[in-house]
Amino acid sequence: MRPLDPRLLRHASAARRFLAAGAVIGVAHTVVVICGAWLLTRCIVLAVDGRGLTAVSPVIGLLAAAVVARSVLTWLQDLAAARAASEVKRQLRARALDALAAGGPARIAGRHSAHVTTVLTGGLDALDTYFSRYLPQLLLTAIATPLLVAVILWNDPASGVTVILALPLIPVFMVLVGWRTQAAQQEQWLALQRLASGFLDVIGGLATLKIYGREHRQPARLRAITEEYQGRTMGVLRVSFLSGFVLELAASLSVALVAVSIGLRLVDGQLPFATGLFVLLLAPEAFLPLRQVGAQFHAAADGIAAADEVFALLAPAPAPAVAHSRPGVRGNESEGRAEAGVRFEGVRFEGVVVRARVTSEPVTAHVRPGELSVIAGPSGAGKTTLLRALAGFVPFDGRISRNGMPVGQDDTRGWLAWAGQRPQLFSGTVASNVTLGAASVDLPLLQRALALAGIPSIDPARTVGGSASGLSGGQAQRVAVARACYRALANGCDVVALDEPTSALDDEAEAALLRGLRALAQAGRAVIVVSHRPAVLAAADAVVHVGETAARALEAARA
């Protein structure tokens, strides 16, 4: 980790403002510290001389003022840090969300959505420590330490030299120990992750373990792996805590050296008492910011690691590795005849990262308006991906055209009503889900959409919780289909694409939904359904087989 990450300054203007404010407060803070030490020295010198309370009182009054000023400045420093932290978090979060929204679903493909959420919400809180503890101390190291060393040098050159010699030892040794332990710490961090995911595996798989009567072995197993980890960890910690040890030792030994050398010169009368005491009080202050930087270094590294993940989201999206239309295919020959419906020509997904391996068999098919077309094929053949490509969520190779015009990544797809494999409902009501994205709610249209999806009796005012709780799987699925129907009706979409719309339905509900889809098609729309259900295949006007070669290969392997 670099002491100050330039990317933070680049991506968050609040961080720049904080550095400026922090520097001003830091200078004021240092001046107050020096004045306070000098006033305290005066007080003690007067009191030791036996001048009595009346003589000391005025100086004590000034000292009290310095104490108050120091507290106020500490408070201001904290406040500025807190403001900066929350503002930087807000800026980074907003930028990352904008980048994700701009990049579309293809951008987060292959990322774990819960992980991205954690990065953008709780994860960024790691920056709090960075701003409230680390960065102010880093600023003070840059501002206060040189000032304090200068004052010490001016008052007592010998002590000044001691401090100047000791100060660099701290970062040098920390870096040396850091190098020595970096690999071990990395290994250790990975082990920690493995340990946590092993624990998650046990907790999440408890039901499965109970079914197989294996639950009683788990405590012993957990204990064994945790203890094995502990043994290795302590070995690593013994070394990595050395950096903290070096830091403490350098700071306290040099204060001790300064104290002893001042003491010996005082005995000889080479140095006035006041100067000696003043330097003794300032010496620890010179080490303080650097000690704090060292102590907060790991917390700060966590903050930067959290920010790193956000920067990764902000990084410009890699240029799509595949062309959306191959040269030669977008020929004049196809521009001439303006074919109605959707045509897939040699569409394939080489290099597209999806959960399962996708057979990169090119798909060529024509989906005509007024027809219900079903895409069938074995699992993993790329049926879902084909629909997602149509919806613009995944880059593809080959060509997809609608009414003779190629469909590009930049098409807003106002002509398409799509529903994915999972219902993906939002908390709200049935009505708010069905009319998602619509400017106003058209009640008759809403009823029609629900009827088309085969769920006319559901109350549109019924509440839906997050993750579609409150509805059964079949209900949620039909509400999601009704959402696509509503969009098709309200926006006059001429293409409706549904992925496994009946997988959670019983025969009766499936039949009702299929009647609705036929009605949509008969109104002149091209209706594309991915399904492996016999009833859907039976209702189809046309069937597109995807990944048949793969299917045959699979059959051969099983035989």
Partner 1 sequence: MPEQTPRIRPILRLATPPARAMAPALTAGALAAAAAVALLAASTWLITRAAEQPPVLFLSMAVVAVRAFALARAVFRYLERLAGHGAAFTQLSSLRVGVVARILPIAPAGLGAAARGDVLSRLVRDVDDLADFPLRVIAPLVTTALVSVLSVAAVWFVAPSAAVALAAWLVLSAIVGSAGTAALAARAERHIAPLRGELADRVLEIIENLDVLSAYGALDERMQAVRALDARLRRASLRRFLGAGLQAALASLFGGAAVVSALLLTASAGLSGPVLAVVVLVPLAVFEVAGAVPAALASWRQVRASAERVAAVAPSVVPAGIPVDRPDAISRPADPLAPLLELHDVAVTWPDEPVPAVSGVSVTVHAGDRLVVTGPSGVGKTSLALALVRFLEYRGCYRVQGVEARDLPQAAVRRVVGLCEQDPWLFDNSIRQNLLFARDTATDDELLAVLGRVGLAGWVAERGGLDARVGERGALVSGGQAQRIAVARALLADFPVLVVDEPTANVDAAQGESLLRDIAAAAGTKRAVVFISHAPVPPELVTARLDMAAARHPLPAPV
Confirm or reject binding of residue 233 to partner 1 (CB under 8 A): yes
Among 186, 364, 472, 549, binds partner 1 (CB under 8 A): 472
Q: Which of 75, 83, 86, 88 is nearest to 28 (CA)?
A: 75
Among 437, 440, 444, 461, binds partner 1 (CB under 8 A): 437
Q: Which stretch binds partner 1 (CB under 8 A): 15-23, 92-100, 135-143, 314-322?
A: 92-100
Helices (H), 268-342: 273-314, 332-336
Element (H, E) at 206: helix 206-211
Would you say 123 and 297 are in contact if contact means Cβ atoms under 8 Å apart? no
- Quick note: the x/- pattern for partner 1 over 496-515, rule CB under 8 A, is -------xxxxxxx------
Percent helix, percent strand, percent coil in the chain, to nearest 5: 65, 10, 25
Confirm or reject binding of residue 182 to partner 1 (CB under 8 A): no
Give the count of beta carbons closer than 10 Å to the beta carbon of residue 404: 14
Confirm or reject binding of residue 461 to partner 1 (CB under 8 A): no
> Is the torsion defined by CA of 139, 142, 146, 149 positive or negative?
positive
Among 165, 175, 176, 196, binds partner 1 (CB under 8 A): 196
Identity of the residue, 86 or 429, whose beta carbon is nearer to partner 1 in the bound complex: 86
What is the rounded distance in angstroms from the CA atom of residue 417 to the CA atom of residue 527? 9
Q: Which stretch binds partner 1 (CB under 8 A): 76-84, 140-148, 319-327, 444-452?
A: 76-84
Identity of the residue, 54 or 332, whose beta carbon is nearer to partner 1 in the bound complex: 54
What is the rounded distance in angstroms from the CA atom of residue 28 to the CA atom of residue 49? 32
- 3-state secondary structure (DSSP) of residue 410: coil
Pull the structure tokens for residue 205: 């798989």
Q: Which stretch binds partner 1 (CB under 8 A): 158-166, 181-189, 217-225, 446-454?
A: 217-225
Identity of the residue, 452 or 505, whose beta carbon is nearer to partner 1 in the bound complex: 505
What is the rounded distance in angstroms from the CA atom of residue 93 to the CA atom of residue 95? 5
Q: Which stretch binds partner 1 (CB under 8 A): 57-65, 136-144, 336-344, 514-522?
A: 57-65
Q: Which of 380, 314, 316 is nearest to 349 (CA)?
A: 380
List the end-to-end C-alpha distance of the chain, in Å, as a whole number.
56
Q: How far is the CB of 356 from partner 1 (least distance, A)?
A: 4
What is the rounded distance in angstroms from the CA atom of residue 376 to the CA atom of residue 520? 20
Identity of the residue, 268 or 333, whose beta carbon is nearer to partner 1 in the bound complex: 268
Q: How far is the CB of 350 from partner 1 (least distance, A)?
A: 18
What is the rounded distance in angstroms from the CA atom of residue 350 to the CA atom of residue 344? 16
| Sequence-separated (6 or more) residues with CB below 8 Å from residue 154 | 160
Among 172, 183, 186, 210, binds partner 1 (CB under 8 A): 210
Identity of the residue, 23 or 202, whose beta carbon is nearer to partner 1 in the bound complex: 202
Under DSSP, the state recorded for 134 is I
Identity of the residue, 141 or 254, whose beta carbon is nearer to partner 1 in the bound complex: 254
Calculate the alpha carbon distances from 427 to 287, 463, 465, 466, 470 in Å: 55, 8, 4, 5, 10
Q: How far is the CB of 319 from partner 1 (least distance, A)?
A: 20
Confirm or reject binding of residue 62 to partner 1 (CB under 8 A): no
Identity of the residue, 2 or 102, whose beta carbon is nearer to partner 1 in the bound complex: 102
Identity of the residue, 333 or 434, whose beta carbon is nearer to partner 1 in the bound complex: 434
Burial of 203 (0-12, 13-18, 19+ CB in 10 A): exposed
Among 186, 226, 463, 549, binds partner 1 (CB under 8 A): 226
Among 20, 175, 260, 405, binds partner 1 (CB under 8 A): 260
Identity of the residue, 63 or 520, whose beta carbon is nearer to partner 1 in the bound complex: 63
Identity of the residue, 253 or 523, whose beta carbon is nearer to partner 1 in the bound complex: 253
Identity of the residue, 173 or 344, whose beta carbon is nearer to partner 1 in the bound complex: 173
Would you say 485 and 419 are in contact if contact means Cβ atoms under 8 Å apart? no
Q: Interaction with partner 1 in 303-342: which residues (CB under 8 A)? A: none
β-pair partners for 497: 418, 528
CA 301 vs. chain centroid, Å, equals 16
Identity of the residue, 99 or 329, whose beta carbon is nearer to partner 1 in the bound complex: 99
Count of residues in contact with partner 1, rule CB under 8 A: 149
What is the rounded distance in angstroms from the CA atom of residue 179 to the CA atom of residue 68? 42
- Quick note: the x/- pattern for partner 1 over 356-395, rule CB under 8 A, is x-------------------xxxxx-------x--x-x--
Q: Which stretch binds partner 1 (CB under 8 A): 110-118, 161-169, 182-190, 342-350?
A: 110-118
- 3-state secondary structure (DSSP) of residue 26: helix
Q: Which stretch binds partner 1 (CB under 8 A): 163-171, 220-228, 303-311, 325-333?
A: 220-228
Q: Which stretch binds partner 1 (CB under 8 A): 134-142, 320-328, 361-369, 465-473?
A: 465-473
Confirm or reject binding of residue 532 to partner 1 (CB under 8 A): yes
Burial of 32 (0-12, 13-18, 19+ CB in 10 A): buried
Among 242, 282, 389, 485, binds partner 1 (CB under 8 A): 242
Q: Interaction with partner 1 in 261-290: which residues (CB under 8 A)? A: 262-264, 266-267, 269, 273, 276-277, 280-281, 284
- Quick note: the x/- pattern for partner 1 over 114-153, rule CB under 8 A, is x-xxx-xxx---------x---------------------
Q: How far is the CB of 2 from partner 1 (least distance, A)?
A: 25
* Pairing state between β 526-530 and 363-367: unpaired
Under DSSP, the state recorded for 248 is H
What is the rounded distance in angstroms from the CA atom of residue 128 to the CA atom of residue 299? 10
∠ CA(24), CA(29), CA(31), 5° rounding? Answer: 100
Q: Which stretch binds partner 1 (CB under 8 A): 165-173, 365-373, 418-426, 517-525?
A: 418-426
Q: Which stretch binds partner 1 (CB under 8 A): 64-72, 169-177, 363-371, 519-527?
A: 64-72
Helix 443-452 vs helix 507-522: crossing angle, to nearest 10: 120
β-pair partners for 365: 344
